[in-house]
Amino acid sequence: MTEQQASQRVSELHRLLTTYNHEYYVMDQPSVPDVEYDRLMRELILLEAEFPQLKQADSPSQRVGGEALKAFTQVTHQIPMLSLDNVFSPQEWQAFAKRIEERAKSANTIAFCAEPKLDGLAVSLRYENGYLVQAATRGDGAVGENITENIKTIKAIPLKLSGEIYPSVLEVRGEVFMPKASFEKLNEAAIKKGEKTFANPRNAAAGSLRQLDSKITAKRNLSFYAYGLGFVSEQVQGQVEQNWLATSHYQRLQQVKLLGLPVCPEVKLLDDADQVEGFYQHILQTREALDYEIDGTVFKVDDIRLQEKLGFVARAPRWATAYKFPAQEELTTLDDVEFQVGRTGAITPVARLSPVFVGGVTVSNATLHNQDEIERLGIKIKDTVVIRRAGDVIPQIVSVVLDKRPDNARTIEFPTRCPVCQSDVLRLEGEAVLRCTGGLYCGAQRKEAIKHFSSRKALDIDGLGDKLVEQLVDEKLIQTPADLFSLTELDISTMERMGQKSAQNLVQAIEKARHTTLAKFIYALGIREVGETTAANLAQHFLTFDAIKDADEDALQDVPDVGKIVAKNIVQFFAQAHNVEVVEALEGIMTWPDIIVKTEAQQPLKDLTYVITGTLSQMGRSDAKAYLQSLGAKVSGSISAKTDYLVAGEKAGSKLTKAQSLGVKVLTEEDLIALLTEHEVSL
Ligand code: 9MJ
């Protein structure tokens, strides 16, 4: 490529990248996907490396960061960067508005520019002759740090102003922030790499801007909204009319937007102070849906001449105030940690906190999730913690204030036995949670265990619904599945909405359930991760219940579909005295026929894979599955090129379409019945 060709292409790439950036960040209307932007950026960087003389002051390639700095230099703000006073209630707002009205000494109503209060970092951007030449933090308001290289990596900030008309020197002020989605991604990545996470998007934005190496900042996906001006020169380039700069704050923000800087789309011009409460409430209600953190609203006198007349006190203007939301983060102490056992046996550490008012409610408990979370936080009992409650989300412990750790702070000890039933607890490989192995026995899991035991795919006890199980357990009529078999009609008829007839029917249904199959019995025990198929495979492989109970992990792993984790679950289950007690009681009550070992000839569908879909009219899908399995077939849940037959009932959907597209043979329900009859399966 000649230099002339390269120069043309560089200009073209500048134009495209700048346009795409503007569409994305200022107009909120991207016209190309991110990959296209990345491709063009790479092309530009390569061209500039080959022809360094073509690198321009406003080249979009600066977005990727440059050489690391040794330290930040200082910048004295030509006009101080003000901060804002706060109000927290309608009364305080009204008092503020009244003071302004009195000072304004005018009968005119006062219009306010209403803005969300972004929770990021205030910066001042200086454009000279349209080019971004300097960017600084607020610092103490008078002197800040020079963060130009970092700011240039923020794609929302133009390196050159758009259009032809702008003051020769223009300082734009606004907030750099990290969108919530980027913050979450950044923290997820940090957790994966075992690195420290940021407590909130504000800290993440601050940490990213404080990097001496702008290449790191470039990877952080920061954004920016402008909300004001600093120094503005009187001289305006390309000026066609006098007084280019508007005298309304709101209009000035529109001018800034036309120059290519993003302005928060929620910004509104309010006619008078009475509309303020409505704006505040509206933003408070919609806050969760915004992709950036805010901690309140800001109201500014719109008329710049009135702003000048009002002036400022100390470091804050008299013409503006923040109207803040109730704090979402507060400090409190962790008084203790207790362990709750959930319905699935998961043991969750729960933080007992000194009550604290945060996010509009008093919080005294918070989940600590699991052991990993406790290690990540590095938290001890008696620590001072930052607690956060955002919207309707459950309160979270965000971080620990290590400076405040007392000498008697205690390490959080995890239980080795279930706090409810004293069974062993187990943390499985690849799982973050501890689980109680009590299963059938554990009080916390009892109701679930009995519901599972009697469910349709297990013992299918008709008339024993979830509500009834709960009542029976609450009334202490049953404690384990074995107790079901000693329930009398009288016991049942004392339950709510249980007539004599339904009690009688239920006793009969329970009696019927005494006779089952080995596979269903194993499934009914509710061993973790032992589903119907695994239960059937275990039965086929071991043939007797005793053999399954006695099998070690290695022997169990010889069974199709049984891996290390499932094998461990099974061994653990039968190692618990409590489970053995219940299982032995059940063995004394229940019966199942011996499994007859099938010869090759009795397994005519061996090596064939079936999938069943849609509604069958003569039998349930799980019956159809069991029939096919009894003939040696494998029944799978999803269609692939390896599927031999799809049995398609009524209203078959995407599986049928997929089977047809893969050329898998399709059977109707009649075909299936014919097949089963041919092989003498009694339906
Ligand atoms: C924030 N943080 O969103 C101001 N701010 O105006 C808005 N901060 C401000 N305005 C003057 N929207 C000083 C600070």
Q: What is the CATH number of the domain that holds 346?
A: 2.40.50.140
Classify burial at 588, counting beta carbons within 10 Å of its beta carbon; exposed 0-12, middle 13-18, buried 19 or more. Answer: exposed
The answer on pLDDT for 561 being more than 70 is yes
pLDDT surpasses 90 at 328: no
On whether residue 70 sits in a domain, the answer given is no
3-state secondary structure 564-591: HHHHHHHHHHHHCHHHHHHHHHHHHHCE
Q: Tell me, using a 6 A CB cutoff, whether residue 301 lines ligand 1.
A: no
CB of residue 227 inside a 6 A radius of ligand 1: yes
Q: How far is the CA of 153 from the centre of ligand 1 (A)?
A: 22
The residue range of the domain holding 504 is 436-587
The token duo for 314 is 């100390």
Shared domain check, 571 and 503: yes
- Write phi, then psi, for 92 (nearest 5 degrees): -65, -40
| Predicted pLDDT at 427 | 86
Considering only residues 506 and 496, tell me which one the structure prediction assigns the higher pLDDT: 506
Give the residue ranges of DSSP H helices in 243-364: 249-258, 276-286, 304-310
H-state helical runs in 221-360: 249-258, 276-286, 304-310
Residue nearest to atom 1 of ligand 1 (CA): 117
Where residue 13 sits, what CATH number does that domain have?
1.10.287.610
Domain holding 442: CATH number?
Answer: 1.10.150.20
* Residue 429 belongs to a domain: no
Quick check: CB of 147 below 6 Å from ligand 1? no
Residue bearing tokens 């704006």? 279
Q: What percent of the chain has pLDDT over 70?
A: 99
Using CA atoms in the order 218, 220, 226, 230, what is the torsion angle rounded to 10 degrees?
-60
Task: Give the residue-averaged pLDDT of 511-530.
Answer: 94
What's the rounded mean pLDDT across residues 657-680?
Answer: 92
pLDDT exceeds cutoff 90 at 107: no
* Structural domain contains residue 148: yes
> Which of 566, 587, 608 is the endpoint of a domain?
587
pLDDT at residue 240 in the model: 58
295 lines ligand 1 (CB under 6 A): no
Residues 298 and 231 in one domain: yes
Q: So what's the pLDDT on residue 231?
A: 95
If you take atom 14 of ligand 1, which residue's CA is the nearest one?
83
CATH number at residue 279: 3.30.470.30
Range from 26-35, 173-182, 432-441, 525-534 that averages highest in pLDDT: 173-182
Share of the chain above pLDDT 90, in %: 69
Q: How many CA atoms lie within 13 A of 536 on its CB side?
A: 17
Cβ neighbours, 10 Å, residue 172? 26
Q: Do both 200 and 221 map to the same domain?
A: yes
Pair of tokens at residue 436: 């109680």
Asked, for residue 423, whether it belongs to a domain, the answer is no
Q: Please tell me whether residues 245 and 172 are part of one structural domain.
A: yes
pLDDT of res. 6 = 94
Site to probe by mutation for ligand 1, drawn from 113, 172, 253, 298 as the one with most ligand atoms within 8 Å of Cβ, is 298
The mean per-residue pLDDT over the stretch 414-436 comes to: 89
Q: What is the pLDDT of residue 545?
A: 95
Q: Across all residues in the chain, what is the average pLDDT?
A: 91
For the segment 421-441, the average pLDDT, to the nearest whole number, is 86
56 in any annotated domain: yes
Structure confidence by residue, pLDDT tens digits, 257-274: 999 999 999 999 999 999
Q: How far is the CA of 201 from the centre of ligand 1 (A)?
A: 17
DSSP category for residue 135: E
Q: Are residues 157 and 277 in the same domain?
A: yes
Q: Does 246 lie in the same domain as 161?
A: yes
Dig out the tokens for 132 from the structure.
């971004």
Closest to 251 in 3D by CA, of 323, 208, 305, 292: 305
In a domain, 287, yes or no: yes
Give the total number of structural domains in the chain: 5
Specify whether 118 is located in the same domain as 199: yes
Q: Cα separation of 589 and 341, whole Å?
A: 30
Tokens of 516: 């089952």
How far out from the chain centre does Cα 354 lie? 27
Q: Are residues 292 and 190 in the same domain?
A: yes
Angstrom CA distances, 246 to 195, 243, 255, 275, 575, stand at 48, 7, 8, 23, 80
Q: Is the CB of residue 120 below 6 angstroms from any atom belonging to ligand 1?
A: no
Q: Cα(334) to centroid of ligand 1, in Å?
A: 35
**Beta strands 236-237 and 131-137, pairing class:** unpaired
Closest CA to 669 of 623, 605, 603, 606: 623
Residue in 117, 152, 155, 625 annotated catalytic: 117
Q: Output the CA 188–ligand 1 centroid distance in Å.
A: 30
Q: Are 479 and 450 in contact (CB under 8 A)?
A: no
Residue type, 504: Q
Summarised one tens digit per residue, pLDDT across range 237-258 is 776 566 889 999 999 999 999 9
Is 320 a pocket residue for ligand 1 (Cβ < 6 Å)? yes
Residue 343: per-residue pLDDT: 77
The pLDDT value recorded for residue 627 is 87
Is the confidence at residue 585, as pLDDT, over 90? yes
Q: 334-365: per-residue pLDDT in tens?
A: 999 999 998 788 999 999 999 998 887 899 99
| Residue-level pLDDT at 241 | 60
- The C-alpha R_g of the chain, in whole angstroms, comes to 35
Please name the residue whose Cα sits nearest to atom 8 of ligand 1: 117
Residue 67 pLDDT greater than 90, yes or no? no
The question of whether 257 is a catalytic residue gets the answer no
Give the end of a domain, one of 324, 350, 377: 324
In short, whether 205's Cβ falls inside 6 Å of ligand 1 is no
129 & 194 share domain: yes
Amino acid at 468: L
> At residue 247, what are phi and psi to the nearest 5 degrees?
-105, 10
Residue 115 lies in a domain: yes
Among 587, 610, 633, where does a domain finish?
587
- Say whether both 544 and 646 belong to one domain: no
Instruction: Report the pLDDT value the prediction gives residue 140, as an integer from 0 to 100.
Output: 87
Q: Ligand 1 mean position to 71 CA, how many Å? A: 27
Query: Which string of DSSP letters, residue by residue, matches 414-443?
Result: PPSB-TTT--BEEE-TT-SSEEE--TTS-H
CB-ligand 1 contact for 267 (6 Å cutoff) = no
pLDDT score of 623: 82
CATH number, position 644: 3.40.50.10190
Q: In what order do the strands lie in the sheet with 634-636?
A: 634-636, 609-613, 645-648, 665-667
Residue 68, in any domain of the structure: no
Do residues 117 and 188 share a domain? yes
Separation of alpha carbons 43 and 64, rounded Å: 13
Among 172, 227, 280, which is best to mutate for testing ligand 1, by the most ligand atoms less than 8 A from CB? Answer: 227
Is 0.75 surpassed by the pTM of this model? no
Average pLDDT over every residue of 176-196: 92
Q: Identify the pLDDT of residue 66.
A: 80
Q: Which of 607 and 177 is assigned the larger pLDDT?
A: 177
Alpha helices by DSSP H, listed for 259-370, are 276-286, 304-310
283 pLDDT above the threshold of 90: yes
Q: What is the pLDDT of residue 540?
A: 86
Instruction: Judge if 354 and 497 occupy the same domain.
Output: no
How far is CA 227 from its chain centroid? 30
